Amino acid sequence: MQATYKTIKTDGLAETEIKKSRFLCHLKRVTSEEEAKAFIQGIKKEHWKANHNCSAYLIGERSEIQRSSDDGEPSGTAGVPMLEVLKKNDLINVCVVVTRYFGGIKLGAGGLIRAYSHAVSHGLQTVGLVMGKLQQEISLDLDYSLLGKLQNSLPETTIKETIFAEKVTVICRVDEEQVENFEAEIIDLLQGQVTITRGATGYEEIPIE
């Protein structure tokens, strides 16, 4: 599993108008090519009256699957520029479809490239991005007398839950590559008066401002 990844925060839709043409950017998180193709077909069915439904997607931990379609626009003026925007943002597991309703004014090859690129960039700004970090759950069992000392030393975002029983159990989420250092620091801080248990590993998604 990779340590980090970037993708869109949520599925969504963003609209822009350029020289009377409407560009609707549909965005969706996907984990397979089948899912991406189904999304594209769904948009085409919904917007069957549109002049074009151009698409691009990146799938896989290292973007092993990359596809784009101009859907009738001049070759290289829509799908590839859309794909390039996704790649420049280092995104994975995302599919975008830009629906164009022609407004009567031709944009030319350069204008089309700029328009489709802008539509995707605007779409990404609208839905937002997240950074997924591979983290491990760490449970710390300690006496009540040590809780304040622990809380004062840990960032607020590290502590996910505190359970009060015979002892206090503090559940933390730590970046996987920092687990050993974290455990060593806790043992040193509490002078060994703590029981550490490692839990499940998973991704924590953090919004990118």
pLDDT of residue 157: 80
Boundary of a domain, candidates 92, 127, 162: 127
Are 39 and 109 members of one domain? Answer: yes
Are 23 and 48 members of one domain? Answer: yes
* Residues 91-142 pLDDT 10s: 999 999 999 999 999 999 999 999 999 999 999 999 999 999 999 999 999 9
156's tokens: 């607020």
Are 18 and 95 members of one domain? Answer: yes
For the chain, the domain total comes to: 2
CATH number of the domain bearing residue 200: 3.30.70.240
Q: Report pTM.
A: 0.84
Cα angle, residue 64 at apex, residues 66 and 43 outer, rounded to 5°: 35
CATH number of the domain bearing residue 84: 3.30.230.30
209: confidence class by pLDDT, cuts 50, 70, 90: confident
Are 49 and 103 members of one domain? Answer: yes
The helix (H) or strand (E) run that includes residue 68 is: strand 65-69
* Residues 152-196 pLDDT 10s: 999 888 999 999 999 999 999 999 999 999 999 999 999 999 999
The span from the CA of 141 to the CA of 5, in Å, is 32
Domain that holds residue 11: 4-127
